Structure 1
Amino acid sequence: MTYSSDDIFPPFEALQAALAAASTGSFTAAAAELEVTHATISRRVEMAEKWFQCSLFDRHARGVTVTATGQIALAKVAHAFDQLKQARQPRPVGHTLPIVKLATTPSFARFWLIPRLTELEGTTQDLRIELVTSALNASLSSGEVDLAIRYGRGQWNDGDEEPLFEESLCPVVSPEVLAMNEQPLSLIQDTALLHTGDTTLWRAWMSHHGKRLTSKPIDRVMGDYAQAIEAARSGLGIALWNPTIHSLDAFNGQLVALNELSCPSPLRFFLLSKPGPAHTPPMRVRSRLLRLLSTGFPF
């Protein structure tokens, strides 16, 4: 099928394939999710890239990562898909609560945000928070979301930014893997490293300990932080745990922290908001979140 970038809209299947590849991190996984072939996903993504007139993905041996321009484009596609879904939902009858759309990563939503959602929403008659979870950055300036919690170095130029935590990185491993070599540094040298998207965090950890990151064939690049933690629990390698956002209690001893090898993290979680009156729903959520942080936040 040929496709002209001058057409008004790209094929739905092309956008669907691109979103699936972005969320799964590989064309193979996207093909399994959409029940089509790898070649079909590749062809459809190329159609989407032709329409957007930019490269949406960087291809590599272990899968794909979304380019900077791809993040912007696919965030808008995801928002458009969400609007389509909402268009077919029946309108509730009677009083409706204000909705605050909060974008964040799936891992942060799972480990930190959802356990505190009722505190952030206030009373049952106050407001509701709608989580928009994606590895792509939803835009505040365009009105896609009202608030965002992003992970990185900051300076996104998309609203006011406030760092949330002082964060650290701590290697974690299953007891079975640790039993193979109880010398932590030697264990890390010989065991698969579990990366979250790219090598930034392990590279920073190595630098802190006076070492240089050398990739091993057994290393794995996972789709996100939660996948890396689960992979470590399953004995697939060593992940870097962020003690600030969750404890290891829920893992029932299936993960061991190498606390003596912790180091500061070069990346942090930031709260992004648009300036507005304190009484508005997004600003009420922001105020409650910052109050939670100031009073401590037990797991």
Structure 2
Amino acid sequence: MPKNLPPLSALRAFAMAGRYESFKVAAENLNVSPGAVSQHVKNLEKTLGIALFDRSNRIIRLTPKGSEYLKGVQSAFDLIKVATKAVTEDIGGGKIVVSTMPSFASQWLVPRLGRFRERHPQFDVHVNTATDLVRFESDHVDLAIRHGLGQYRGLYSERLFTVEMVVVCSPDFGTKANNITDLTMLPLLHEAERSDWALWFRANGFNEVDCSRGPSFDDDTSLVHAAISGQGVALVRDVLVVDHIAKGRLVSPVDLKWPSKFAYYCVFPEEGLRSQKIRAFRSWLHEEIRGH
């Protein structure tokens, strides 16, 4: 039985390694080497006099004692986080760092943020746009809006939008596209992988369409703007063009929506469920989705 508490650095390394059962993933989250995480855990095991991980196979697994210890250590860290936030944030105020994809930020989130500011002037929102998944703790992010299947290990996630792919073009260009047959002869605007149009045509019974024509774009925002400027017909996620359609910049000439298995999710560490600012932002998001 150790007389003194183990070092916080060792406990932190163990908590992260135990959460993912991986020294490599823990090292990535802590911005250290896997060897450093492994050494911290070995020192902790020596201090405690017990084995925390089973290393008999190539994949590490928590021992029963390790699993029991992880619950207590994680609870302690959660209490520290709550206490720290309580003394470093003004009551009801603070900064909210939101990470999301550039396309969602520019086409949906940012145009609506003014209404959040009107409702909650005590909060300042910082939008962090990135295509890669952020690490919440090391990147200092409170909440993320992600496009995917909603399965993010160790994080809380809730669905915001289901996604449907819609055909859009400029109003002038729309006069040339009255049906699917018309689309087979018009310039097609593509995302970088150039696969969506071929799949869409096949889903609608058109198997021999040449989908190789037309420009492609690395990001959805450029794709949307190419459609607005009349360069062709685009197949895009509905949430990215709902405002452009409402304001008459785009039209949907063919009313055939294509459901996607992906959706948009609000994602954050589970301790965020107790955060006043995250609760406020989540509530506002759902109000916007219901109303717009």
| Band of TM-score, shorter chain | 0.5 to 0.7
Deviation at 1:141, TM superposition (A): 5.4
Larger radius of gyration, structure 1 or 2?
2
C-alpha distance in structure 2 between counterparts of 1:172 and 1:158, whole Å:
38
User: Partner residue of 1:226?
Assistant: 221
AA in 1 matched with 2:260: S
CA offsets 1:114-137 (integer angstroms, 9 cap, x no match): 233244454322x11100012222
Report the Cα distance in structure 2 between the residues aligned to 1:290 and 1:162, rounded to whole angstroms: 11
Which of 96, 104, 108 in structure 1 is aligned with 2:104? 108
CA contact (8 A) 2:244 2:250 kept: yes
Cα deviations by residue, 1:64-93 (Å, 9 ceiling, x for unpaired): xxxxxxxxx9xx9xxxxxxxxxxxxxxxxx
Aligned CA distance change for structure 1 residues 260 and 271 (closer, same or farther; 3 Å): same
Q: Which runs of no fewer than 5 residues in structure 2 stay unpaired?
A: 1-27, 32-89
Q: Is contact 2:177-2:183 (8 Å) kept?
A: no
Structure 2 match to 1:282:
278
Letter paired with 1:169: M
Normalising by structure 1, what TM-score? 0.57
The corresponding residue for 1:80 is none
Provide the secondary structure at the position in 2 that maps to 1:256: coil
Alpha carbons 2:177, 2:253 under 8 Å: kept: no
- 1:135 corresponding residue in structure 2: 131
Partner of 1:123: 120
- 1:257 aligns to what? 252
Q: How many percent identity over aligned positions?
A: 25
2:156 paired with 1:160? yes
- Residues 140, 159 of structure 1: 8 Å contact kept: no
Q: Which letter maps to 2:291?
A: F
SS in 1 for 2:227: helix
Is the Cα contact below 8 Å between 2:162 and 2:262 reproduced in 1? no
Look up the match of 1:297.
291
Structure 1 gap segments, 5+ residues each: 1-72, 77-94
SS in structure 2 of the partner of residue 198 of structure 1: coil
SS of residue matched to 2:291 = coil
The answer to whether the 8 A contact 1:248-1:255 is kept is yes
- Alignment: residue pair count: 201
Greater mean deviation of Cα atoms: 243-252 or 150-159: 243-252
CA–CA distance in structure 2, aligned partners of residues 221 and 119 of structure 1: 34
Q: Which amino acid aligns with 1:194?
A: L
TM normalised by structure 2 equals: 0.58
In 2: Cα distance, 1:158 partner to 1:206 partner: 38
* Matched residue type, 1:184: N
Distance 1:216 1:260, change over 3 A: closer
Q: Which residue of 2 aligns with 1:273?
A: 268
Conserved? CA contact 2:97–2:128, under 8 Å: yes
**2:191 alignment partner, one of 177, 196, 199:** 196
Aligned-pair distance for 1:251? Answer: 5.2
CA drift at 1:250: 6.2
1:145-184 alignment runs, 5 A limit: 145-157=141-153, 159-179=155-175, 181-184=176-179
What is the CA RMSD across the aligned residues, in angstroms?
Answer: 3.1
SS at match of 1:228: helix
Is structure 2 residue 203 aligned with structure 1 residue 208? Answer: yes
1:57-76 matched pairs, under 5 angstroms: none
Q: How many angstroms apart in 1 are the aligned matches of 2:136 and 2:199? A: 30
Match of 1:11 in 2: none
Question: In structure 2, what is the Cα distance between the partners aligned to 1:182 and 1:194?
Answer: 14
Partner Cα distance (1:290, 1:278) in 2: 18
